[in-house]
Amino acid sequence: MATFLPLSRAVSDNLNDGDTAAFEGFTHLIPTAAAHEAIRQGFRDLTLVRMTPDLVYDQMIGMGMANKAVFSYAGNPGVGLLRRLRDAVENGFPQPLEIEEHSHAAMANAYEAGAAGLPCAVFRGYRGAELARVNPNIKSIVCPFTGEKLAAVPALRPDVTFIHAQKADHKGNVLVEGIIGIQKEAVLAAKRAVVTVEEVVDNFAGIHPNACILPSWTVHAIAVVPGGSHPSYTHGYYARDNAAYLEWDEIASDRERFRAWMQENVIEKSADDFAGRVAHLRKAA
Amino acid sequence: MSDFTPNEMMTIAASRALRSDDVCFVGIGAPSAACNVARLTHAPDITLIYESGTIGTAPDVLPLSIGDGELCETAVTTVSVPEMFRYWLQGGRVTIGFLGAAQLDKFGNINTTVIGDYAHPKTRLPGGGGAPEIATSSQQVYITMAQSKRGMVEKIDFFTSFGHGDGGDHRKRLGIDTAGPTLLITDLAIWKPDPETREFTVVSLHPGATRETVQETCGWTVKFAERLEETPAPTELELKTLRDLQARTKAAHAGTAKKGKAA
């Protein structure tokens, strides 16, 4: 059953050194505040899983928190490369980073398999793709009915998944709207799930019966963090801070500048600072 | 006719290849501009799909990422990412997969993963994202990129997305039953695969481009069709549509910036 906690407690209760952790969000609803809290608490030796590791994984990898990344697109969407991740892969700085690389289809299927309690995902993919040569977790399976050769990857089962969502009700049910991405699957695939939300409401009366809701008993902790996905966005609350994504490209290009930025904007800040960061983006949403 | 840049010609030539009844899986960047110009000119009913799960989207400005909010707000429906890849792409419902490329070879194989060796890359690129399956599950693949010797190479460093492999019937031999790359639109020319070898062959030069400029900016020895056409120059409407779209996009992306922090 979900417990409402301050973000610092929600993170310290559910994340451990050495965990396989997913901070999921597909451009939309990226759990930045939770990732920043994890950075402040200084976790180490994490395996970071995410389809689209963007700024927050660039930050966590740059701070030396991760041994391994499992991903399918490691870019700053629409801007370019992830420069801290690149530094780790190309130069082993600040520490070497093992990578397990997939396609989006594979990761999406693998989360779904995790949520469905299956050991692996089966799909038509990786045909002619060289990732199958360099990633030993990409194998194939023959359909017992048609003989078709299909791709197989292990199910994803994170120790803990962090997501950001629009709102929770008082009972701790969570509503996700807009580009829902992979969040539902990532939560249901994980042993523990932590959700940050923009607000808590009395109830979800009047919403569509097919809305994407994570029942309270699928979530371990909820923290209320308005603005908690900035510079990503929360549909209905505030717009994506595209300028911040463009700016990140410069910040992350230099090791010293990166450290200074992290000190000033993450280490010396708290979850309470997120609301102010989206104030200028609210009417644009 | 006003002046236009090679990049504008590329986007407009790419847009002309799309039809109103196409279901197009849109890659970010150059493909996104071309797909939306098509929608705003001759293909108003085209279904544009972005991998974030937005189906039938009609953004007023070009998204910076594949998951900008406007894609969802203007879409017919927004589905989850696993549904997108399973039911809609793998299910064979996409007629055109429209991709860009960091590195491309003459058989339409694409690398967006690494420059250099995979384990010890010289440059680590973002990776495949949706492209490996877009390239094999879409009924056809269109590719658009600006020409350069670095981008169009004899041998790509990594097969992120399979095109025609070594050429000929290589797709068939791997059990891939979709057509693969059938069109390449660059800033200088329109290319189509040779029906036998599947090597991309220039079939049309854009206004101002020559055989020499095409060869100078391409890393393999270029084949030209016997009957080489000239791509019609952009019409006033096409050019205005593209420029208005880009101006709206620039204003919108700058509009979210804080004062004193230019985008």
A43 and A169 in a single domain? The answer is yes
A113 and A253 in a single domain? The answer is no
Tell me the H-state helices in chain A.
Answer: 7-14, 32-41, 55-62, 83-91, 104-115, 131-134, 183-189, 242-251, 255-262, 274-277
Q: Are the CB atoms for B172 and B180 separated by under 8 Å? A: no
Residue with the bigger pLDDT between B65 and B110: it is B110
A residues 131..190 contacting B (CB < 8 A): 131, 134, 148-149, 178-182, 184-185
Contacting residues of A for B64, CB less than 8 Å apart: 77-79, 240, 242, 245
The C-alpha atoms of residue B41 and residue B63 are separated, in whole angstroms, by: 19
Q: What is the CATH number of domain B6-253?
A: 3.40.1080.10
Mean pLDDT score, B72-92: 97
Q: What is the pLDDT of residue B253?
A: 76
* pLDDT band per the 50, 70, 90 thresholds, residue B263: very low
A62 and A185 in a single domain? The answer is yes
Residue A64 in any domain: the answer is yes
Domain count, chain A: 2
Mean pLDDT score, B44-64: 94
Give tens-digit pLDDT for B179-238: 999 999 999 999 999 999 999 999 999 999 999 999 999 999 999 999 999 999 999 999
Domain that includes residue A257, residue range = 3-102+157-272
The C-alpha atoms of residue B66 and residue A75 are separated, in whole angstroms, by: 12
Residue A285 in any domain: the answer is no
- Residue B259 pLDDT more than 80? no
Residue A98 in any domain: the answer is yes
Q: Which residues have C-beta within 8 Å of that of residue B230, sequence separation ≥ 6?
A: B204, B205, B206, B207
Q: DSSP labels for A200-269?
A: EES--TTS-TT-EEE-GGG-SEEEE-TTTTTTSBBTTTB---HHHHHHHHHHTTSHHHHHHHHIIIIIT-
A70 and A144 in a single domain? The answer is no
What's the complex ipTM? 0.95
Among A24, A73, A234, most B C-beta atoms within 10 A, so best to mutate, is: A73
Distances in Å between the Cα of B8 and the Cα atoms of A222, B42, B80, B190 are 48, 17, 34, 14
Q: What is the pLDDT of residue B2?
A: 62
A188 and A255 in a single domain? The answer is yes
Give tens-digit pLDDT for B10-47: 999 999 999 999 999 998 778 999 999 999 999 999 99
A95 and A38 in a single domain? The answer is yes
Report the gap between the CA of A277 and the closest CA in chain B (Å). Answer: 10
Q: What is the pLDDT of residue B254?
A: 72
A167 and A145 in a single domain? The answer is no
Q: What is the mean pLDDT of chain B?
A: 93
Residue A279 in any domain: the answer is no
Residue A79 in any domain: the answer is yes
Q: What is the pLDDT of residue B262?
A: 34
pTM here?
0.95
Q: What is the pLDDT of residue B147?
A: 98
Catalytic residue among B51, B133, B199, B238: B51
- Per the annotation, the verdict on B83 as an active-site residue is no
Q: What is the pLDDT of residue A18?
A: 98
- Which tokens belong to B97? 């997969």
**Which one of A89, A178, A185 has the shortest CB-CB distance to B121?**
A89
Q: Is A281 helix (H, G, I), strand (E, B) or coil?
A: helix
Residue ranges in chain A whose pLDDT is less than 50: none
Among chain A residues, the shortest Cα distance to B163 is held by A128
Question: Can you count the helices (H) and strands (E) in chain A?
Answer: 10, 15
Residue A281 in any domain: the answer is no
